[in-house]
Structure 1
Amino acid sequence: MQLTKRLVLTATALAAVTAGTLLTATAGQAATAQRPAHPGVDAPAALKVPDGNRLTGVFSAAGVQTYTCTDGAWKLLEPAATLWARNDGSRRTVALHSRGPVWVSTVDGSAVNAAAIANSPKTGTIPELLLQSTATRGTGMFADVSYIQRLNTHGGVAPTTACTGTDQVGVPYSATYAFYKPAK
């Protein structure tokens, strides 16, 4: 039964990501037009990537932060987002982001797991983060990723209302993810 519940949740999260991506496309386009070419350069001091790493990819993302009711309070269960790249004015999906946290390339199957090591709170939205890789898989775009920054966050904050039982809710969010690898 737990597996069935997890599969239903994943399907619900993916549906929410798709809906969130469609609903936030215009806002994401506006945010992209205002974003610097290398967001890591403008990251808060707490989120700076250590020297010896180079920026290898910057992708816009839209999805949901899924919260579940635990002991009467909303707790983060999992993110579910689609990352995309812009080429000649069009969007191309390049990765999916989910619980772990993990990012899996839809282009080459490579993946990176990471853990947050620093955050920079923002009013009215989920915090910006610096994450350090805990594992990578494959030889593609996420091979050897060392650090990830979550920047330009919008939305995704847990509800402030009370919850009961096993309530769950997906809150739309958008962000920019910057990926770094060791400089060679």
Structure 2
Amino acid sequence: MFRTKRSRIRALTLAGGLVAALGTVGAVTFDASAAENTAASGNLRPLTPAVSAVPEAIRPPDGSRPIGAYLVATGTQTYTCVVPAGAASGAFTGGSVPEAQLVGTGGWIHHFAGPSWQSERDGSLVTATKEKELKRDGTIAELLLKVNSHSGTGILSKADYINRLYTSGGVAPAGSCTAGQTASVAYKAVYVFWDAPAA
């Protein structure tokens, strides 16, 4: 995992570059500790994109404000083999379970089953459900997820929507498998958390 200062800076530099491709609000900050201090103070704009830069098919509601952008430092999508009744073998067609460490404007976030995201800095936690997707060839889809539960106060407490963008990898393996078999596939992505205007 990217826990040294140099590797954190490298990961944040990559995150900043990817977010810059989306269209940033303000200057991109590449120093890990500076980015984390900025996030702690509540000024999260240096590494976050504008809503208009997100593909229209998976865009959060108009007026949504970015509250953080995070790069998958290490991550997998784990699939379970589904075997049809009476068949000898099956395929990895079931839903995937994420397990990832994200790094970005607010430090580290653990992404896990639920799907759930929890700040390692302040313990704030959200779960979400898929609202829209944008399929991409050779990789898992880009997503818009709607937050359906919050726990704690902190970085994620105001998140209403989450985008999964710039995906690579994470696709279920091809070929046959046996009942109960699992396969974990590495993936990369950028997650952007949004505070949506009140309805």
Q: TM-score range by the shorter chain?
A: 0.7 to 0.9
Percent of aligned positions with the same letter in both sequences?
36
How far is the alpha carbon of 1:85 from its aligned partner?
A: 1.6
1:139 corresponds to 2:153 = yes
**Aligned letter for 1:63?**
G
Give me the TM-score of the superposition, normalised by structure 2. 0.71
Q: Is the 2:11–2:71 Cα contact (8 Å) retained in structure 1? A: no
**Aligned letter for 1:33?**
G
Q: Which residue matches 2:17?
A: 33
1:130 corresponds to 2:155 = no
How far is the alpha carbon of 1:33 from its aligned partner?
A: 2.5
Question: For 2:108 and 2:197, how far apart are their aligned partners in 1?
Answer: 23
Equivalent of 1:84 in 84, 90, 103: 103
Q: Which residue matches 1:162?
A: 176
What secondary structure is seen at the aligned counterpart in 2 of 1:41?
helix
How far is the alpha carbon of 1:107 from its aligned partner?
A: 0.5
1:50 corresponds to 2:50 = no
What secondary structure is seen at the aligned counterpart in 2 of 1:73?
coil
Gaps of 5+ in 2: 3-8, 25-48, 84-89
Are residues 31 and 103 of structure 1, via their aligned partners in 2, closer, same or farther at CA, if it must alter by over 3 Å?
closer
Alignment RMSD (CA, Å): 2.4
Q: Is the 1:40–1:149 Cα contact (8 Å) retained in structure 2? A: no
Which structure has greater strand proportion?
1
**Aligned letter for 1:66?**
T
Question: For 1:46 and 1:34, how far apart are their aligned partners in 2?
Answer: 19
Q: Which residue matches 1:73?
A: 91
Q: Is the 1:81–1:98 Cα contact (8 Å) retained in structure 2? A: yes
Which range moved further: 39-48 or 57-66?
39-48
Which range moved further: 77-86 or 35-44?
35-44
Q: Is the 2:68–2:194 Cα contact (8 Å) retained in structure 1? A: yes
Q: Is the 1:39–1:178 Cα contact (8 Å) retained in structure 2? A: no
Q: Is the 2:19–2:69 Cα contact (8 Å) retained in structure 1? A: no
Question: For 2:147 and 2:18, how far apart are their aligned partners in 1?
Answer: 28
Q: Aligned pairs, how many?
A: 157
Give me the TM-score of the superposition, normalised by structure 1. 0.76
How far is the alpha carbon of 1:166 from its aligned partner?
A: 1.2
1:172 corresponds to 2:178 = no
